[in-house]
Amino acid sequence: MGEIKKLWYVVRAISGKEKKVKEYLELEISRMKLDAYIGQVLIPTEKVFQMRNGKKVSKEKAYLPGYVLVEAALVGEVSHVIKGIPNVIGFLGAEKGGEPVPMRLSEVNRILGKVDELSETEEEMKIPFVVGESVKVVDGPFNNFSGTIEEINEEKKKLKVMVKIFGRKNLLELSYLQVEKEV
């Protein structure tokens, strides 16, 4: 028998349940011996840094929440097995109830490349702030104070924030990780 051609599909899952979907799917694959038809199951993630008790903590976060990538050959019952997994909404496809549409190779490579790139350049951080934005200090002696961003230093990953303390405005220099956007 020849090699079974597997394509990449996007499975919609309940947001926040992607890991459970992946676990259930892998259990089902081994239980029903479907490894010839289903290859990899991936959750595209990125590393996010936060400050917790004065320490820099990295956390994995799905950068496509609600989606799980599955490399599979949808023959026979394979698609029904995938749809039957708890927390799975269905396949991402052209029309509701229609046939699942495989991803284009360029999309797959872009996402897989992005996943690799994100895990390699974990120290690289996007500039999540803009001048004039309101932020709340979450770490340091000025914890829980709110202020406005006056200046951004990308190289040092620092912000100059104007904070009102006891009725007077003060300019603080804080790291990206010491503040979060005010909602």
- Give residue-wise pLDDT tens across range 2-54: 568 899 999 999 988 999 999 999 999 999 998 899 999 998 887 777 777 77
Please give the CATH number for the structural domain made up of 7-120.
Answer: 3.30.70.940
pTM above 0.85, yes or no: no
The pLDDT of residue 69: 93
Query: What is the third-level CATH fold of 134-181?
Result: SH3 type barrels. (2.30.30)
Locate the DSSP E strands across the chain.
Answer: 7-13, 38-42, 45-52, 55-62, 67-72, 88-91, 134-137, 146-153, 158-165, 168-175, 179-181
Domain positions in the chain: 7-120, 134-181
Confidence of residue 59 (pLDDT cuts 50, 70, 90): confident
pLDDT digits (tens, 9 = 90+) for 129-149: 889 999 999 988 889 999 999
7-120 matches 134-181 in fold: no
